[in-house]
């Protein structure tokens, strides 16, 4: 009888073409599946809670897979970390029931978008911060963010709204902007996110902070339901999948 496992994974996405397996491109899913084959002799499909794009990082991605021949979770974690490159780490492996699905069982996610707001970005942060030289008005960014919270049709903040299978209505439980020194962090927590939605929110808020758009423009853009140049897509390097939320009954 097969056993389902849950993985808690962190990764630096700089060297990868994103989560999903692609031909002739290294991906997080591809690396995990190759290492599982080496370790277990099986070829399980590793299903993530959601896809991340090329260059996007994860602090706590969640995934699941099944093994026909069960293995102790601690052995799986140790074996996978021994085979994976050190820019992918398995923090935890748990046995879960067959009704657990990393994608369909989750009830929300938190993403964080990181900005370095100064003339020069430290070289050791260059892969993990979007560099914005112009001073940003945090108060204005938070004013716009408040208008974006709640349940809305976020079609104008999706890079491909016509291909969203479940529609374009989502609920943003919280969207806040914090500053500490030159570090600015956008925190987005919601029940789900459209394709490149967080990077689009970040791109818009950066323009508001730079004085290029007013905070009140957020309401007009939402109501338009049309993607335009007013909502640029911010760079991938600043984005982190921070946390995935599951009901208390789930094993996370």
Active centre residues (catalytic): 53
Query: Residue 25: beta bridge partners?
Result: 22
Do the Cβ atoms of 31 and 85 come closer than 8 Å?
yes
- Looking at residue 230, the DSSP 8-state letter turns out to be T
**Using CA atoms, how far apart are residues 242 and 252, in angstroms rounded to an integer?**
14
**Using CA atoms, how far apart are residues 77 and 98, in angstroms rounded to an integer?**
20
| Residue whose C-alpha is closest to residue 252's, from 111, 67, 109 | 109
Do the Cβ atoms of 186 and 175 come closer than 8 Å?
yes
Enumerate long-range contacts of 149-155, CB under 8 Å, 24 or more apart.
149/173, 149/174, 149/175, 152/222, 153/222, 153/225, 154/194, 154/197, 154/222, 155/194, 155/225, 155/226, 155/227
| Residue whose C-alpha is closest to residue 106's, from 61, 76, 149, 150 | 61
CA angle 214, 222, 194 (to 5 degrees): 120
Instruction: Output the DSSP codes for 90-114.
Output: EEEEEEE-TT--TTTS--EEEEEEE
Do the Cβ atoms of 59 and 241 come closer than 8 Å?
yes
Q: Give SS3 for 240.
A: strand
């Amino acid at each position: 009888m097969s056993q389902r496992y849950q993985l808690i994974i962190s990764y630096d996405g700089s060297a990868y073409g994103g989560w999903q397996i692609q031909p002739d491109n290294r991906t997080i899913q591809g690396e995990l599946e190759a290492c599982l084959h080496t370790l277990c002799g099986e070829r399980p499909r590793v299903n993530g809670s959601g896809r991340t794009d090329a260059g996007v990082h994860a602090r706590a991605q969640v995934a699941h897979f099944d093994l026909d021949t069960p293995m102790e979770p601690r052995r799986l974690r140790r074996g996978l970390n021994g085979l994976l490159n050190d820019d992918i780490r398995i923090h935890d492996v748990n046995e879960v029931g067959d009704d657990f699905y990393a994608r369909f069982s989750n009830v929300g996610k938190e993403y964080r978008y990181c900005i370095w707001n100064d003339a020069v970005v430290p070289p050791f942060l260059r892969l993990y911060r979007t560099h914005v030289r112009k001073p940003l008005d945090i108060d204005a960014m938070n004013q716009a963010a408040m208008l974006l919270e709640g349940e809305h049709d976020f079609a104008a903040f999706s890079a491909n709204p016509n291909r969203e299978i479940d529609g374009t209505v989502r609920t943003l439980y919280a969207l806040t902007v914090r500053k500490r020194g030159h570090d600015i962090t956008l925190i987005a927590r919601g029940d789900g996110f459209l394709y490149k939605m967080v990077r689009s929110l970040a791109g818009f808020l950066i323009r508001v902070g730079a004085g290029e758009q007013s905070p009140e423009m957020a309401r007009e853009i939402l109501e338009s339901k049309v993607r335009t140049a007013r909502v640029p897509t911010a760079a991938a390097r600043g984005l982190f999948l921070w946390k995935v939320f599951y009901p208390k009954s789930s094993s996370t």
